[in-house]
A and B are shown apart, each in its own frame.
Chain A
Amino acid sequence: AQKVTQAQTEISVVEKEDVTLDCVYETRDTTYYLFWYKQPPSGELVFLIRRNSFDEQNEISGRYSWNFQKSTSSFNFTITASQVVDSAVYFCALSEALSGNTGKLIFGQGTTLQVKP
């Protein structure tokens, strides 16, 4: 069965620290997509990144980086030099090709990140 696990419920760091948010997924499909979303206090989900199952290349975007490892079924997210504005709930999500390309997302429970000044 498909599942996304974000074991870290809450993380608190001091500004400028690096922080890694963990995501582990389960799927029987060989073709799937992984996502990270940010939910600030306003509530809207903001798309951060999409990765397909055939592309294990790590990606860096400014202070954000993502480490995709199929061998461990993980898709971890690192924020370098964290800032107060990074405080939010972060969700990892999975979409399977088996779902018939409906684009349905399976979300983890989310990790609440608090960055203190």
Chain B
Amino acid sequence: SQTIHQWPATLVQPVGSPLSLECTVEGTSNPNLYWYRQAAGRGLQLLFYSVGIGQISSEVPQNLSASRPQDRQFILSSKKLLLSDSGFYLCAWSWTASEAFFGQGTRLTVV
């Protein structure tokens, strides 16, 4: 069966510090991978998606970047965090046109 791991679960970072969130998927190959962000009390917004190694598409302009160095690894990064980067970040995977399965999320607070 497939599983998705995302870490850390919570993170408090000062403004201007770097960020690296990691997500890995097990039990499948060549999945579509996604990073979503959920601001407090709001819906989920797609930040990045990837259909293959090294292929990253950005949905919204922002202070963040994503990379996919391996087939089942997806990393969300920032060189300098802003207060507005605070939120709940969710990694997800899917096969083409199927339902997406989500990780447990990372709650990021930028102070």
Task: Give chain B residues whose Cβ lies under 8 Å from the Cβ of A33.
Answer: 97
Q: A110–B57 Cα gap in the complex (Å)?
A: 25
Question: Among the listed A35, A43, A102, A107, which residue makes an inter-chain contact with B32, where contact means beta carbons less than 8 Å apart?
Answer: A102
Q: List 20 A-B contacts (CB under 8 A).
A: A33-B97, A44-B103, A45-B102, A47-B99, A50-B99, A91-B44, A95-B97, A97-B97, A102-B32, A102-B51, A103-B34, A103-B49, A103-B94, A103-B95, A103-B98, A105-B36, A105-B44, A106-B46, A107-B43, A110-B42
- Listed in ascending order, the chain A residues whose CB lies under 8 Å from chain B are 33, 35, 37, 42-47, 50, 91, 95, 97, 101-110
Nearest 5 pairs of A and B residues by beta carbon: A45-B102, A109-B43, A103-B94, A101-B96, A107-B44
CB A63 to nearest CB in B, in angstroms, measures 20
Instruction: Tell me what chain B mostly uses at the interface: helix, strand, loop, or mixed.
Output: strand
Residue of B nearest to A46 (CB): B102
Given the complex, which residues of B lie within 8 Å of A47, measured CB to CB? Answer: 99-101
Binding site for A on B (CB under 8 A): 32, 34, 36, 42-46, 49, 51, 57, 59, 88, 90, 92, 94-105, 107
The residues of B that contact A109 with a CB separation of less than 8 Å are: 42-43
In the complex with contacts A104-B46, A104-B49, A110-B43, A43-B34 CB distance below 8 A: no
Q: Which residues of B contact A108 (CB under 8 A)?
A: 43
Q: In the complex, what residues of A have CB within 8 A of residue B98's CB? A: 50, 103
Return the contact of A103 from the options B32, B43, B104 (Cβ within 8 A): B32
Distance A108 CA – B92 CA, assembled complex (angstroms): 17
Q: 6 additional contacts, CB 8 Å, given A44-B103, A102-B96?
A: A46-B102, A95-B97, A101-B97, A103-B95, A107-B36, A109-B42
Question: Given the interface contacts A43-B88, A107-B43, A109-B43, does A102 sit within 8 Å of B105 by beta carbon?
Answer: no
Asked whether A103 and B102 contact (CB < 8 A) given A45-B90, A108-B43, A109-B42, the answer is no
- Which of A37, A46, A103 counts the most B-chain CB atoms under 10 A from its CB? A103
